[in-house]
Amino acid sequence: MSKEHFGTDGVRGMVGTDPMTADFAMRLASAAAQVLVPEGGTVVIGKDTRLSGYMFESALEAGFVAAGADVLLIGPLPTPGIAQLTQQFAADLGVMISASHNPYDDNGIKFFDRSGSKLSDAVEREIENQLKHRAITLESSKLGKAKRIDTARTRYQEFCASTFPDDLTLDGVKAVFDGANGAGYKVGPRTLASLGAEVIPIGCSPNGCNINDGCGSTSPELLQLTVPAVKADVGIALDGDGDRVVMVDEGGNLLDGDQLLYILATARQRDGRLKGPVVGTVMSNLGLEHALSEAKIDFRRVSVGDRYVLEKLKETGGIIGGETSGHMIMLDQTTTGDGLVCALQVLAVMKQTGKTLSELASGMPKYPQTMVNVRTEKRLDPGASPAIQDAVVAAEVELADTGRVVLRASGTEPVIRVMVEGEDEDQVLALAKRLAAVVAETAT
């Protein structure tokens, strides 16, 4: 059975339109409580810096309390911080209010189970089934309570710092930190500074409307200019909810999730700590696959979405995987993607090896890759269209063994993503445009 409201990462949409309304949030909380929170159980609620976060926080609080759950209000904190605190407080459920890397007028609701992991498809379907019924309000004696947790940020900072090797510090490291005007705007600079780094913050002045606006992992251009301008060793950019990270080397060159995954996987291999295969997605650069193969590291691909990376890691006994976007999972450190923890792991490799970020990334060639996003007015399955499939086959024949073609529907937007990758940049660009035109024509 397909899901009506849950996408690849919770429920998401434009604020004020279904499902992102206060009424729906309250009903969603009631449904989730009935499925996952026993009477008298506890729910942790966090949010990023979007203006609408206040509204959804109140609506969710009302829904959970009415259903008999106690609520711990965390305030602005990265998504992985909510996963971590769900475990620390032995809560039954963690909830994060965020639309991740999307603009401020979008928002979303993500859930974590008591182990700090995202919910399974089966549990999400149970919640959706419960949504068919009215929200409940128990009698007064059975209602839950709500309180704010003032120590939440400090707790999460201490956890992040604890993932950095005890025998190392960041003394002598000059880092530019871009918080995307989002959930990591305080914890990022403070954690880095606590380990000894000299920190220059940008994108750390949220006003409720500027999250991901010309800053953060989806817009790292200012970071790329700032790092060499201030002679910093490294730049770090999170997305709005702090579960993704990209980095910038000393020369201002951008390192995406594939390159960070290469650095972390090969470092763990050298230390004898790598277990199982490294997991990427269908969008991972072919250069990553080839570089890991040369290092004799097993590499597996899954569908786009950190939940699928996590499933494959658990299935195969692996500990590290990630997406090109910078959504990294390190099961030897965390239960979910954590941009700040990932950055700390990369900084640790820099300190342990004495190498610059550019030197660490030099072992992985990046194949030219072009992505074209085609907006659609209706739901479209690229695999079900003969015209699109004929165009894909023709492109693959032209690329032969030197590239790849991937078409997929976005799980969060009405978009078909057309990706072409290969050795010849001009050929890649031409094929991507040709395929995008076919998709656009089919979608009308």
**pLDDT value of residue 52:** 98
The least confident of 184-193, 307-316, 370-379 is 370-379
Q: How confident is the model at residue 2 (pLDDT cuts 50, 70, 90)?
A: low
**pLDDT value of residue 229:** 98
Please, what is the end-to-end C-alpha distance for the chain in angstroms? Answer: 27
Q: How confident is the model at residue 292 (pLDDT cuts 50, 70, 90)?
A: very high
What whole-number distance in Å separates Cα of residue 311 and Cα of residue 329? 11
What whole-number distance in Å separates Cα of residue 41 and Cα of residue 71? 9
% of the chain exceeding 70 in pLDDT: 99
Domain with residues 11-154, CATH architecture: 3-Layer(aba) Sandwich (3.40)
Cβ atoms of 352 and 362 closer than 8 Å: no
pLDDT(377) > 80:
no
Cβ atoms of 104 and 213 closer than 8 Å: yes
Cβ atoms of 127 and 35 closer than 8 Å: yes
Write down the pTM of the prediction. Answer: 0.91
The least confident of 36-50, 159-173, 313-327, 365-379 is 365-379
Strands 369-375 and 245-248: unpaired
E strand spans, 264-306 = 278-281, 299-302
Is there a cis peptide before residue 19, judged by omega within 30 degrees of 0? yes
Active-site residue among 98, 100, 217, 325?
100
Average pLDDT, stretch 46-64? Answer: 98
pLDDT(166) > 90:
yes
Cβ atoms of 253 and 220 closer than 8 Å: no
Cβ atoms of 217 and 244 closer than 8 Å: yes
pLDDT(1) > 70:
no
Q: How confident is the model at residue 214 (pLDDT cuts 50, 70, 90)?
A: very high
**CATH class belonging to 369-443:** alpha beta
For the chain, give every domain's residue range: 11-154, 172-254, 256-361, 369-443
Cβ atoms of 245 and 260 closer than 8 Å: yes
Q: How confident is the model at residue 260 (pLDDT cuts 50, 70, 90)?
A: very high
Average pLDDT, stretch 2-8? Answer: 82
Strands 198-202 and 245-248: unpaired
Tell me the sheet residues that pair with 198: 174
Q: How confident is the model at residue 221 (pLDDT cuts 50, 70, 90)?
A: very high
Q: How confident is the model at residue 380 (pLDDT cuts 50, 70, 90)?
A: confident
% of the chain exceeding 90 in pLDDT: 88
Average pLDDT, stretch 146-165? Answer: 97
Tell me the sheet residues that pair with 220: none
Average pLDDT, the chain: 95
What whole-number distance in Å separates Cα of residue 14 and Cα of residue 103? 9
Separation in Å, CA 2 to CA 23, 126, 414: 23, 12, 17
Strands 106-113 and 198-202: unpaired
Q: At 108, is the secondary structure helix, strand, or coil? A: strand
**pLDDT value of residue 412:** 65
Average pLDDT, stretch 112-126? Answer: 93
The least confident of 31-35, 189-193, 387-391 is 387-391
What whole-number distance in Å separates Cα of residue 31 and Cα of residue 34? 5
CATH number of 256-361: 3.40.120.10
Fold designation for 172-254: Alpha-D-Glucose-1,6-Bisphosphate; Chain A, domain 3 (3.40.120)
Per the annotation, the verdict on 100 as an active-site residue is yes
